Amino acid sequence: MVIYGVYIVSKSGGLIFNHDHNVPKIENEHTFSYPLDLKLVYENKKVVVSFGQKDGIMVGHVLTAANGMPVTGKQLDDGRDVLEVIDNSESYPLTLRFSRPRMTTNEKIFLASMFYPLFAIASQLSPEPKSSGIEVLEADTFKLHCFQTLTGVKFMVVAEPSQTGVDLLLKKIYELYSDFALKNPFYSLEMPVRCELFESNLQSLLEQIEKTGISNV
């Protein structure tokens, strides 16, 4: 029973709240000999594995450190270009650390606004009349549950595929939102939610669910 994250999207499609619950950190470190048996490319200011999966290193993972030295973009902390280091046979054996990229806040905002048209198109392409938008989005690694309130605010929970009773959780989060965010006199609508009470209550709700299950909430 794992809940990975909670997102709240305003009526106009902007991300107004996000809480990462327990996203697993996927990281692998290995010592390589020359030539490197992975294909790396530099894209979107990251060095990414584009071909060759081994020992838990998957396509899409980002290079985070070489010989224990952090990599930012394609630069090592001492100013050298990491791709040149990798191409140079003299720098081997080389220890490289790869990890699955974590979403930055900007990417989260971008994704949240991307969900909005998907939600709308799903209802337009419906073969049945009067369909709602996406309520559950399923992938092999997670399930995204979305609950839209009458006022158009969307609550989304990303959870394990086997997690049940998320609808209840969503209603509960809505309740917390209306109690602690909307009743806060310093909160203006459509703006990001920064209410300590809301966050702490949400946190304890998620922890309680993880311990005892949703039915006891």
Partner 1 sequence: MTIHNLYIFDKFGCLLYYAEWNRLKSSGITREEEAKLMYGMLFSLKSFVSKISPLDTKKGFVCYKTNKYALHYLETPTGLKFVLNTDVNAQNVRDLLHQIYSKVYVEYVVKNPVVNLGDPIKSELFKMKLDGVIKQFPAASKAS
Is there a contact between 116 and 9 (Cβ–Cβ < 8 Å)?
yes
In the DSSP assignment, the letter for residue 152 is: S
Q: Which residue stretch of 11-19, 43-51, 62-70, 113-121 sits at the interface with partner 1 (rule: CB under 8 A)?
A: 113-121
Minimum distance of partner 1 from residue 190's CB (angstroms): 22
How far apart CA 42 and CA 168 sit, in angstroms, is: 43
Q: Taking CB under 8 A as the rule, does residue 155 contact partner 1?
A: no
Q: Is 60 an interacting residue with respect to partner 1 (CB under 8 A)? A: yes
For 51-94, what is the HEC assignment? Answer: ECCECCECCCCEEEEECCEEEECCEECCCCEHHHHHHCHHHCCE
Q: In this chain, which of 131, 164, 178, 204 binds partner 1, going by CB under 8 A?
A: 131
The only residue of 45, 55, 125, 215 in contact with partner 1, by rule CB under 8 A: 125
Task: Give the C-alpha separation, 89 to 94, whole Å.
Answer: 10
Q: Is 130 in the site for partner 1 (CB under 8 A)?
A: yes
Number of residues that bind partner 1 (CB under 8 A): 39
Candidate ranges 11-19, 29-37, 42-50, 107-115; the one touching partner 1 (CB under 8 A): 107-115
Q: CA separation (Å) from 18 to 4, 6, 45, 52, 82?
A: 11, 6, 24, 34, 33
152 touches partner 1 (CB under 8 A): no
Q: What do you get for the CA distance between the two ends of the chain, in Å? A: 15
Minimum distance, C-beta of residue 144 to partner 1, in the bound complex (Å): 7
Q: Which of 1, 48, 58, 83 binds partner 1 (CB under 8 A)?
A: 58
Among 139, 151, 196, 215, binds partner 1 (CB under 8 A): 139
Task: Give the nearest distance from C-beta 89 to partner 1 in angstroms.
Answer: 30
Separation between Cα atoms, residue 151 and residue 170, nearest integer Å: 15
Whether the upstream peptide bond of residue 93 has omega within 30° of 0, thus cis, is yes
Q: Which one of 44, 106, 124, 151 is in contact with partner 1 (CB under 8 A)?
A: 124
Residues of this chain that interact with partner 1 (CB under 8 A) are 4-5, 23-24, 26, 58, 60, 100, 103, 107, 111, 114-115, 117-118, 121-142, 144, 158
